[in-house]
Every structure is written in structure tokens, then in C-alpha cells.
Chains A and B, each alone.
Chain A
Amino acid sequence: MRATGASPIGLPASVPVGRYTKGVLESAGLWTAIETKMVGANTVRQALDYVARAEVDAGFVYSTDAALMPDKVKVAITVPTQKPILYPVVPIAASTNAAAATKFVEFLLSPQAQAVLAKYGFGKYGFGKP
């Protein structure tokens, strides 16, 4: 069995990137065609590693992950997701370190931290909010 056309994506049911990929491909009517060629990976980084090692022809990963290996992987297409991929951050109400947690959240929203996130390809705080 040759799987040269295989493209690893995250496990569709479990890893978030797999869910996003499945959603996009289903709405484009491509899921059934790709499903048989797909290799589930444990994490998005594992999928990226398979691409970097040329074990597969292509993989679905976050652009922020692809940007980590610019010399090994090439971004073929940027797939628009149905919903923006958001990373929520909240201090826990029951936290014993509420003050520090709040301070950390505030730091993440500061221009300094946002610049670091932007450097690694993440969008600005509030991006994609209606």
C-alpha cells in the first residue's frame, strides 16, 4: 500500500486542528475524497514534523506552526476557517493567586506581549470578535 498522496492532519475527532480541517473540507465538499488519504497525527506539531520529513506531501497545520520551519515546509495554501481560531485567556475565579493571574492576563494584553505574539504570527487581541 503506497500512501504517497497522504496528507496528515490532526486526528479529526480529538485534536482541534483536526476539527477545523474537517469542518473546512466538509463545507468545501472535499472531505470524503481526502479522508481515505489522510493520516491522523497525535498533535499538530507531529503533523508538521511529518511534512518536514517529507513523509507526506502536505499537511494541515496552523500558519503559526508552519512559520516555525520556514526552511523545511512551504505554505501551499492558506485555508480560511469557518470561525476564527481563538485562544481565550481568563483568570480562574477560585484561583489562590488571583492577583498574579489577573496581572498575567493584563500583561498578555499589553503592547509588549502582543508584539511577541505578533512576531510568531498570532493575530491581535480582539481579532475576529464580532
Chain B
Amino acid sequence: MEGAWVALALTLKVAGWATALNLVLGVGIGFAMARARFPGRDVLDAVLTLPMVMPPTVLGYYLLVLIGSHSPLGGWLIQHLGIRLIFTWQGAVIAAAVVAFPLVFKAARAAFETVDPQLEDAARTLGMGEVAVFFRVSLPLAWHGILAGVLLSFARALGEFGATLMVAGSIPGRTQTLSIAVYESVQAGQDDAANFLVAVTSIVCIAVLLSAGRLVPGRIARRE
């Protein structure tokens, strides 16, 4: 049972970092895609949404090839920053972040598109710089939609399995997240351990979704 808490702590750490990464990247790229007009924008949007619909094994393979220790990128990271991504929790963060990225990106893009550009223009006429316009007008107005996407992406990252297992392996206490621990106990016929892990996972997911509901009240709640 103690192993379950270790797996839970690791899962929260991985999902937390993945979500933090997605918050920055998803909001930034979502904003750029909502405002910029350039040829191939639809294609880029499709590529950025791809991780959500691609089989996790395909993603895991892409990641192994891209960030593997002997790939150009993975090799550079090890040599210059000493960061090894394969078989580490950092690798699990990358896998979870990539899988959950479209949820933040899509939500952020949609949220920024609903922000009235006239409000941004009004701020500019009042002498605000572009950075100030973003942080004091666009972001606060889009925040609700973004937060919904961020929480969904956190929930998705919590449950990440396929790509994580391929990239980070299954090392108890180091890369063995809850979903991988569940898979292993079921495969090994350890039903008691599996039941406990499944219960823990379900409770955590319900807690996340409940807090998502509280933090992001729907339209009806806001009207009241």
C-alpha cells in the first residue's frame, strides 16, 4: 500500500509539471494562433492538436526517436544541460505534457478568440504596450476558458499511460505513475494492490473534476 502513495506523489508531481509547462506554452501559442494570420495556420493547428487523437504508442515512439539519448536533441540535452529524459520523471513530464497540450492550447485559442479586439484596441489608445494589453486585458478576459482547459489537461496528464511507459519505463518510485502501477498489478494478478490503486486513482480524478467545477462555474452559475 505504501507503494501506492509513492506512485500518487510521483503522479501529482509529473502531472503538475506537465500542466505548468502546458500553461505557459498552451496560452502563448493559443494566443498567437488566435491573433496571427498566416498561410498554413490551419495545418499548424491540426499538427498541434494531433497528440490528442494519436495513439499513445505512436507518440511514445516519436518521443523515443526525438528525445532519445542518442538523438540530436536528447544528446544535446545530456551533454550541455545534463538532463536525461529517457527513464526519468522528467521524461514522464514531457510525455504527459505533449499528450495533454492540445487541451490547453484549444481552450486558450477559443477563449482568446472570444475576447473583443476593440477592448484591446481601447487599451492601446490609452497608451498600454502590447505586453500590458495581454496581461491586463486579453488574459483576464480569457482566463475562465483557459482555466477549464488547464484543469482538463491536468486530469489528462494524471491518467497518461502509453507514451509515458515507452519513454520513462516503469521504475517503482522513480517513473512508475499510478496508471502504470495499476497496469502492472493487474498484469501480475495482484488484485488487492490493483483495487487499492484503482480506488486512489478514482478518488484523485473525482477531486480534480470537482475542483474544476468549483473553479470554473458554468454560464448558469455565473448568471445567478
Contacts and interface: CB of A to CB of B under 8 A. Distances in A.
Interface of A: 1-3, 6, 8, 11, 13-15, 38-42, 46, 50, 53-56
B170 A1 contact: no
Interface stretch (B17-25, B133-141, B184-192): B184-192
A contact face: mostly helix, strand, loop, or mixed: loop
Contact of B171 (A15, A40, A55): A40
B166 interface: yes
Given A3-B87, A39-B87, A40-B184, A11 B70 contact: no
Contacts of A14: 184, 187-188
**Which of B68, B172, B184 has the most C-beta atoms of chain A within 10 angstroms of its own C-beta?**
B184
B157 interface: no
A41 B188 contact: no
Interface string B90-122: 000000000000000000000000000000000
B187 A38 contact: no
Contact of B169 (A1, A39, A54): A39
B160 to A, nearest CB: 14
Contacts of A46: 166
Contacts of B64: 53, 55
Contact of B188 (A2, A6, A13, A39): A13
Nearest to B84: A2
B49 interface: no
Interface string B48-65: 000000000000000010
A11 B69 CA distance: 22
18 contacts: A3-B86, A3-B88, A11-B170, A11-B184, A11-B187, A13-B188, A15-B187, A38-B171, A39-B169, A39-B170, A40-B184, A41-B169, A42-B170, A53-B64, A53-B68, A54-B70, A55-B69, A55-B87
A42 B166 contact: yes
Interface string B144-174: 0000000000000000000001100111101
Contacts of B165: 42
A41 B86 contact: no
Contact of A13 (B68, B86, B166, B187): B187
